[in-house]
Structure 1
Amino acid sequence: MSRPPTFTPPPCARARTLATRRGRFAVLDARPSGEPHGTVLMLPGFSGSKEDFVALLEPLAEAGYRTVAVDGRGQYETDGPDTQEAYTRAELAADVLAQAAALDTPVHLLGHSLGGQISRAAVLLDRDPFRSLTLMSSGPAEVTPGQRERIKLLSDTLAVMTMAQVWDLMRTMEPPADVSTPGHDAALRERWIRTSPAQLVATGAQLSAEPDRVAELAGVQRLPLHVISGERDDVWPVPLLDAMARRLGARRTVVAGAEHSPNTDRPAETAAALADFWDSLY
């Protein structure tokens, strides 16, 4: 589970809903003080939310970028159906295309972990809405065997326990690392409780069986690509991400001192690398 340092957006951002042809999505919408250089759409990972990008919003606004971080269907503050069929990769990719259309401008698409694989599927459906694609800690195919075991355990547990019961069990097994921030663990719990279990089971199965679509993505014409990660990753090994970037002909960034979530581990360095990539495209 990703753990954003705070759920409170900076002054440059506001929480709102984005109305699209496929429904309404909860977003954090951060804007620069002047005319933006470009617009960024950010998709969170497995069990994550738009708050995973809070620490990036202010530095990206200062760099001149409007950033819209979204809760996908069934994630935190965006409602979703109770059936797993509603969360197929094609359905989630179509949501991304609807979000991009609602922003009414070509967007730099960024997906973290699961969000990266959903982003890839969206681009393969329709490349036109996107100025670029950044895959953040998101690999070419299925996650590692250890992660597949954890996903299966979670799915089996969700079949017999409520989200609240699963949270209590997880906290028994792994107490919060930082109890000094008042209300932080309560916010993480609320996010977990409000996430759809059907979404978790469906997307967990996808992460465990995702095919390698790197060659398809490499064949998308004139789409600038960026692969960014920490220097350690237990979901997709860093050498695998290195090889994927070479296969894609993509820019490659490794954020020192970061692990699977450079957006929360080293946000200033991550934001600088992202802005530098996007700046290079103008």
Structure 2
Amino acid sequence: MVEHRSVNVNGIRLHIAEEGEGPLVVLLHGFPECWYSWRHQFAPLAAAGYRVVAPDQRGYGRSDRPEEIEAYTILHLVGDVIGLIHALGEESAVVVGHDWGAPVAWHTALLRPDVVSAVAGLSVPPQPRGPVPPLRAMRERFDGQFYWNYFETPGVADAELAAAPRTTFRRTLYGACGDNPHNNPPAQPLIQPGGGFLDRVKAPEKLPSWITEEDIDVFVAEYGEAGFTGGLNWYRNLDRNWELTAAWQGAAVQPPALYITGDRDLVYRFPGMEDLLPALPNLHPNLREPIILEGCGHWTQQERPQEVNAALLEFLDSL
């Protein structure tokens, strides 16, 4: 049974959901999500003999939400993961991340291989540090219409997403999933001039089978007080992260690693992915052969829980 409590880490309070006993597995959610995104992973991993902990990361859900945008750099986020592992009384853990949680997981493994015994990323692969800051790169490539750039301006996306949270979650979760016929293949997530993030997709009349109205209720409730600003601040630090990680240019992820994605995931079609994905085993020698789930969209562990659980358990048991 999943239990909830708060843990003090690096001067902030993180809400965590946990189940099971054994080697620690930390599950890191993405945007706009929370601990509940891992609801299908708790029981199977716990039953297999693992201690499963999914925090609301800083800025999300029931965890603290620092006001300063600069408090959400990748170094803060990695520090939270390392601090959480130690606050839980452990010296090491397997770290698994989805969406934004994946870059946090990859960077935690990159920066602290002494603490991360293995790492897995869902949707977002370990990406090389590019020659120019990412927000600038996307701004120049897509004339400022890429959704990262729309998220840049404080208050704009925050207000749009918070205006009607239920609509936000129904549109966002359906919009990026494999059941949306427009994601075969997915188009680049561009925001039209004068439009908003949610204008890209209409709310479905009926949700796909992997998500229920009750699930939407939980996401709405978890975001009721928190809003979306904390999560959006992660995007606002993309260029700052590029500056902070210069010392790791060209570095490889050392712990055993696993990457899972769907062929209808918008990230799968991001610029450069067609060259990056085949090169991953050479860039990171301890990375297993990537798993590509046919017909799966962006919400990997929610859309395909059985396949993701089987892959994670096989990976964990092999360590």
Q: Tell whether the structures are fold-level matches, with TM greater than 0.5.
A: yes
| 1:241-260 → structure 2 map (5 Å cutoff) | 241-249=277-285, 250-251=287-288, 252-260=290-298
The corresponding residue for 1:23 is 12
The corresponding residue for 2:74 is 89
Q: Are the aligned partners of 2:69 and 2:236 in contact in 1 as well (CA < 8 Å)?
A: no
The corresponding residue for 1:55 is 40
Q: Give the percent of matched residue pairs that are identical in Structure 1 and Structure 2.
A: 24
1:241 CA displacement: 3.3
| Correspondence 1:175 to 2:203 | yes
Letter in 1 for 2:162: A
1:19 CA displacement: 3.4
1:265 CA displacement: 0.8
1:150 CA displacement: 1.9
The corresponding residue for 1:204 is 235
The corresponding residue for 1:5 is none
Number of equivalences = 263
1:72 CA displacement: 0.7
| Correspondence 1:158 to 2:194 | no
Report the TM-score, using the length of structure 2 for normalisation: 0.71
More moved, 223-232 vs 84-93: 223-232
State the alpha-carbon separation in 1 of the partners of residues 5 and 40 from structure 2. Answer: 18
1:24 CA displacement: 2.3
1:166 CA displacement: 6.2
| 1:1-282 → structure 2 map (5 Å cutoff) | 12-31=1-20, 36=22, 38-105=23-90, 106-139=92-125, 140=127, 149-156=146-153, 158-159=155-156, 162=159, 164-165=162-163, 167=165, 170=168, 173=199, 174-175=202-203, 177-178=206-207, 181-195=212-226, 197-206=228-237, 215-218=250-253, 220=254, 223-237=255-269, 239=274, 240-249=276-285, 250-251=287-288, 252-281=290-319
1:256 CA displacement: 3.7
Post-superposition CA distance 1:74-100 (Å, at most 9, x none): 111112112201111111111111011
Q: Which runs of 5+ in 1 are unaligned?
A: 1-11
Q: 1:242 to 1:274 in 2, by over 3 A?
A: farther
1:168 CA displacement: 7.3
Aligned-partner SS, 2:266: coil
1:45 CA displacement: 1.1
State the alpha-carbon separation in 2 of the partners of residues 24 and 57 from structure 1. Answer: 22
Q: Which runs of 5+ in 2 are unaligned?
A: 129-133, 172-197
Report the TM-score, using the length of structure 1 for normalisation: 0.79
1:191 CA displacement: 3.2
